[in-house]
Chains A and B, each alone.
Chain A
Amino acid sequence: MDQQQFQKIIDDKNPKVPYFMNILKAFIVGGIICTIGQLITFFYMRFFPFTEGTASNPTVATLVFIAMLLTGTGLYKKIAQFGGAGSAVPVTGFGNAVISAAIEHKSEGYVLGVGGNMFKLAGSVILFGVLSAFVVALIKTILVNLGVVSW
């Protein structure tokens, strides 16, 4: 049996990835997380002296805190199996990546274990997040200076 025949058998037997259902589930889960985030923002604006611009910082911190509780109790993993990208893309997914790595590497001590590995998964989110923010800001600066758009 040659490689082509073999590959054909594998392709035949491979289960179809339910793209549509995955997208729908991701939309629902991601949507729910973001709605909760929006409610938290309103909460900080209503009961604390935050504006729409400054309320995002405590909102992110609160969401990461909730993600920490859900990760520690093993619930986030279950939500992720259902929600896929819907639970990975919001800031709670970032929190989960940091916290799960921290829990995992506790066995090697706090400095080399937790400290050294906490950003193992989330490190690339930070790197490429900062990089893409820089590039977007650069493009906007150029466009503003050319008079195409305004701040």
Chain B
Amino acid sequence: MVNTFGTLQFTSKICIANTGTVVGPVEKDSPFADSFDEVLSLETEKEETNEQANTRMIEKACHWAAKKNHTQVDKVDVLIGGDLINQLSPTNFAARSLAIPFLGVFSACASSMESVILGCLLLESGNAKTVLAGASSHHQAVERQFRYPLQYGTQKPKTSQWTVTGAGFSLLEKDLKNTPVVTHATIGKVVDSFQTNPLHMGAAMASAARDTIERHLTNTNSKMTDFDVIMTGDLGNIGISILKEMFQDENTGVILQDAGAQFYGDDKFFNAGASGAGCSAVVFFSQIYEQLKKGAFKRVLLVATGALLSPLTFQQGETIPCIAHAIECRMEKRG
């Protein structure tokens, strides 16, 4: 592995062998819905609490990823994952029942790519043969922790985003044929652009995304047009337009996309679009992964963006620091 200012180049062939994605009932109308493995019929999925439902989704997503690869979760060497709930309890509890060695990670909504980067490092160093990596979020559990009770009547501004109920996990293995390969990764910096509005996180996260993308392009000696798509996790409609403006590059139009802005289509009910660790995870590991596998995409940069705020720091008047982790995936010619 070669490390250039936070951009890792993997010398071994690290493949995304398979993926598993599970989403909640609201997400069934998403334009990505056809690519999801499972859509729950209830937000709480027969569980008593939202947090338990989040745990159940993680377990299901891991089982899907393993099952599609004709293996069992208990044959996997390490599980790496994160979510947005205090002390990562949903992921910790899922790791309890999955009963394999587990690393919990947190970088808010960027946890999805942080997990994958750590998984790649474990494979690269030869310390694991198979790794399950991903992240999840649950709308109702997140609303309650970060905002207000679910039924509390408050007017949401046009900049606000809707946390996705979803879990996405990928199974990483070395030296496979006809599967997308993770060639590079860029570890994010915590960037603070002095934003204070927790209902406008796209603006806060845009500068973190810009920093990571710019470093990745410089360190890998590439330009935007080398990629089929550069997809950010959950900047939302407004956040992605801010990011495009920041690059001042005419190529950003089609190449630079955002999973959160596209997740709920044009539905105005969701205001600026989707957010959450589950948003980037389920989009990257469903449709983007499929497009890579089909060969429609040859080279993509997946940038998960996370706002590192808590209800406490925001009420104490702190600004919102953000982070973005990126992985570059390539699909070699079939055969």
Interface residues of A (CB under 8 A from B): 1, 3, 6-7, 9-10, 12-15, 17, 22, 71-72, 74, 76-77, 79-81, 83-85, 87-88, 93, 96-97, 99-101, 103-105, 107, 121
Cα A104 to Cα B149 with chains together (Å) = 6
Report B50 CB to chain A, min CB distance, Å. Answer: 8
| Given known A-B contacts A9-B242, A9-B246, A72 and B151 have beta carbons under 8 A apart | yes
Chain B CB within 10 Å, residue with most, of A12, A84, A85, A107: A107
B238 touches A121 (CB 8 A): no
B151: contacting residue among A7, A22, A74, A87, CB under 8 A: A74
Report A20 CB to chain B, min CB distance, Å. Answer: 15
| Given known A-B contacts A107-B49, A121-B148, A81 and B156 have beta carbons under 8 A apart | yes
A77 touches B49 (CB 8 A): no
Report A10 CB to chain B, min CB distance, Å. Answer: 5
Residues in B neighbouring A10, C-beta threshold 8 A: 195, 203, 206, 242
Residues in A neighbouring B195, C-beta threshold 8 A: 10
| Given known A-B contacts A1-B246, A6-B193, A77 and B152 have beta carbons under 8 A apart | yes
Interface residues of B (CB under 8 A from A): 48-49, 144, 148-159, 193-195, 200, 203, 206-207, 210, 238, 241-242, 245-246
**Chain A, residue nearest B241 (CB):** A13
**Chain B, residue nearest A78 (CB):** B153
Residues in B neighbouring A12, C-beta threshold 8 A: 245
**Chain B, residue nearest A108 (CB):** B49
Cα A9 to Cα B150 with chains together (Å) = 33
Chain B CB within 10 Å, residue with most, of A10, A85, A103: A10
Residues in A neighbouring B153, C-beta threshold 8 A: 71, 76-77, 79-81, 87-88, 93, 96, 100
Report A103 CB to chain B, min CB distance, Å. Answer: 6
Report A99 CB to chain B, min CB distance, Å. Answer: 7
Residues in B neighbouring A88, C-beta threshold 8 A: 153-154
**Chain A, residue nearest B271 (CB):** A15
A104 touches B144 (CB 8 A): yes
Cα A17 to Cα B195 with chains together (Å) = 18
Pull 5 A–B residue pairs with CB atoms less than 8 Å apart, ordered by A: A14-B203, A77-B153, A81-B155, A103-B150, A107-B48
Cα A101 to Cα B150 with chains together (Å) = 8
Beyond the given A9-B245, A13-B242, please list 9 additional residue pairs across the A-B interface where CB-CB is below 8 A: A13-B203, A14-B159, A76-B151, A77-B150, A80-B153, A87-B153, A100-B148, A104-B149, A105-B149
A96 touches B152 (CB 8 A): yes
A13: contacting residue among B49, B144, B238, CB under 8 A: B238
Cα A121 to Cα B153 with chains together (Å) = 11
Chain A CB within 10 Å, residue with most, of B151, B156, B207: B151
Residues in A neighbouring B157, C-beta threshold 8 A: 17
Residues in A neighbouring B155, C-beta threshold 8 A: 22, 80-81, 83-85
B151 touches A99 (CB 8 A): yes
Chain A CB within 10 Å, residue with most, of B144, B154, B194: B154
Report A112 CB to chain B, min CB distance, Å. Answer: 15
Cα A60 to Cα B315 with chains together (Å) = 32
Residues in B neighbouring A74, C-beta threshold 8 A: 151
Residues in A neighbouring B49, C-beta threshold 8 A: 107
